[in-house]
Structure 1
Amino acid sequence: MRITVLTVPDCPNAPVVGDRLDAALGGLEAVIEWIEVTDDAQAARLGMTGSPTVLVDGVDPFATADAPASVSCRLYRRPDGATDGAPSVADLRNALISAVATEDGLALDAVGRAGRGRLTPVTGGLRGMQQAILRHFAATGQAPATPDLAAVAAAHGRTAPEVLAELAVEDFLTLDDEGHVRAAYPFSAVPTHHRVRLTDGTQIWSMCAIDALGIPDMLDTDAVITSADPISGETISITSTDGHMTWQPATAVVYVGRRCCTGPAADVACSALNFFTSRRHARTWAEQHPDHTGRAVDQARAEALGRAIFGHLLTQPRPGREET
């Protein structure tokens, strides 16, 4: 992935966007180049619509319709309606996730919400509710009861069922028939093929392999992930220590795919995001499931995807604090 930052000389927002790009990459590999633009003709040739402009593989992910080439300062709209001189870390990360999926030809649109990412908007109590649910899962290994979330929703003049329903519609979580939390990506309240044991002893089910790989970074903790090869039943374990992951067996890979339909990730993607002991087993599984599309990715790519999609969900500012 190539990131190009177009700026005018001495642009005050150039260091800002540089720092935010470093935070947004989160383990993703990229080549970053900086180009100083001095006139409108050069801006038009390079695709610059204000300083700074960020291009990901030659495309401006923040482009607005009919924006002219310009060497003036560029303003970016934040989720709360305010403007900023550079894209937020969350917006940059979402753009990078989308680029990784396109670059590799992976079927990650469902996992990453079509490039929109897994971090909820701040407005309407959505961010506060998401983070409260994730922290409860991390502390207990279980989903919180709906009444336990009432205070979070009430702080925004809403009810817990109302906020939960909105989060479900946008595929940040899933609910059962009675409106209780069944899953909040990356966690599942019901058993799956993927188990994560934290250093404090808490054991949590994850929705899929990529979700499991993102949990240690999201919680900033060591963990042990266990799963089973869908073909052979052999155990696969990944031990995360100080951010470094050790895989057993060393030949293990992750199949990243989705079913040939639309819907929430829980329905169309999670069954196609599995650990395998080898590429051969992943290929065998794919041949047995012609209604799924995707491919096997190596350990480094799978880890990077997990970190990029889930690693920042609890490190972003909570509601009421300024988001950068």
Structure 2
Amino acid sequence: MTEDFTELTDRLASPDTGLEAALWVPLLRLLSRGDPVDIVDLAAATGRTVPEVRAALGAVPDTEYDGEGHIIGQGLTLRPTQHRFEVDGEQLYTWCALDTLIFPALLGASARVESACHATGVPVRLSVGAGGVTGVQPATAVLSLINPEDMSSIRSAFCNQVHFFASAEAAQPWLDAAPGGSVVPIADAFRLGTAMAGALLHETPPAQRALQGKGVRGCVC
């Protein structure tokens, strides 16, 4: 992994984003069940009070809620986006292309991903599991990355610029318009996602890491 990748991994897993691993990982596992998450349930899963959870969620302004105040998205979302993410039969979505390569490790589950080339609309499909990425179609697909100065609103600053492209050639117009941006093969992006997942899991309580290591999805007790 290059020095630039290492820096980006460190920043994505840092407090700069507002994402607190001990809260975010349990939230992702609850969202992966396919239902809105009640803040009371998230508080119980993390051993915190409801006010503490509300304050932590407030640090991520992009968090999505339904009309009843339940959480429906924070990286992983129940609201349709261009990035379809299927895990254990649940059709979910993600905020960006890199999320699809990070979340399988955090959930301890394999996923099927379907998105579209940001430039051409050509379908991009792949499967992600503990062993890596397989079945990438088209085989020339790449992923765009950017390392913005301010990540306090991670969805607008980072996620909205992280796309799948059918090829490096298809990504060239995006590169021309994104100073400092880059495109990488899916295999390299997977290594970045795995490194970020490892950093986040390292920050979670030992009991949560043990559950993830056993491939237990959704259980955050």
Q: 1:203 to 1:248 in 2, by over 3 A?
A: same
Q: 1:192 to 1:223 in 2, by over 3 A?
A: same
Aligned equivalents of 1:116 and 1:139: distance in 2? 24
**Cα distance, 1:130 vs. partner?**
3.1
Q: 1:204 to 1:314 in 2, by over 3 A?
A: farther
Choose from 181, 185, 189 the match for 1:294.
Answer: 181
1:134 to 2:28 alignment: yes
SS in 1 for 2:32: helix
Residue in 2 that maps onto 1:215: 103
Q: Point out where structure 1 has 5 or more consecutive residues left out of the alignment.
A: 1-28, 30-99, 121-126
The structure with higher relative contact order (CA 8 Å, sep 6+) is 2
Give the % identical residues.
29
Aligned equivalents of 2:198 and 2:62: distance in 1? 17
Residue in 2 that maps onto 1:162: 52
**Cα distance, 1:310 vs. partner?**
2.3
Q: 1:174 to 1:238 in 2, by over 3 A?
A: same
Aligned equivalents of 2:24 and 2:129: distance in 1? 26
Aligned equivalents of 1:318 and 1:271: distance in 2? 33
1:148 to 2:35 alignment: no
Q: Residues 51-62 of structure 1: matches in 2 within 5 Å?
A: none
**Cα distance, 1:223 vs. partner?**
1.7
Runs of 4 or more above 6 Å deviation:
114-117
1:225 to 2:126 alignment: no
For the 8 Å contact 1:253–1:277, the answer to whether it is kept is: yes
**Cα distance, 1:276 vs. partner?**
0.5
SS in 2 for 1:293: coil
Q: Residues 138-287 of structure 1: matches in 2 within 5 Å?
A: 138-140=32-34, 142-152=35-45, 155-156=47-48, 158-159=49-50, 161-169=51-59, 171=60, 174-176=63-65, 180-185=70-75, 187-198=76-87, 200-241=88-129, 243-246=131-134, 247-258=136-147, 263-287=152-176
Q: Deviations over 1:5-27 (max 9, x none)?
A: xxxxxxxxxxxxxxxxxxxxxxx
For the 8 Å contact 2:9–2:196, the answer to whether it is kept is: no
**Cα distance, 1:108 vs. partner?**
5.8
Amino acid at match of 2:114: T
Aligned equivalents of 2:53 and 2:120: distance in 1? 42
Q: 1:136 to 1:177 in 2, by over 3 A?
A: closer
Q: Point out where structure 2 has 5 or more consecutive residues left out of the alignment.
A: 211-221
1:307 to 2:194 alignment: yes
Aligned equivalents of 2:18 and 2:56: distance in 1? 16
Q: 1:182 to 1:264 in 2, by over 3 A?
A: farther
Amino acid at match of 2:4: E
**Cα distance, 1:227 vs. partner?**
0.5
For the 8 Å contact 2:171–2:183, the answer to whether it is kept is: yes
SS in 2 for 1:139: coil
Q: Deviations over 1:39-86 (max 9, x none)?
A: xxxxxxxxxxxxxxxxxxxxxxxxxxxxxxxxxxxxxxxxxxxxxxxx
Aligned equivalents of 2:184 and 2:8: distance in 1? 12
Rg (Cα) greater in structure: 1
Aligned equivalents of 1:263 and 1:150: distance in 2? 23
**Cα distance, 1:307 vs. partner?**
1.1
Q: 1:222 to 1:301 in 2, by over 3 A?
A: same
Q: 1:301 to 1:135 in 2, by over 3 A?
A: same
SS in 1 for 2:190: helix
With structure 1 as the length reference, what TM-score do the two structures score?
0.53
SS in 2 for 1:318: helix
Aligned length: 205
Between structures 1 and 2, the one with greater helix share: 2
1:113 to 2:9 alignment: no
Q: 1:151 to 1:116 in 2, by over 3 A?
A: closer
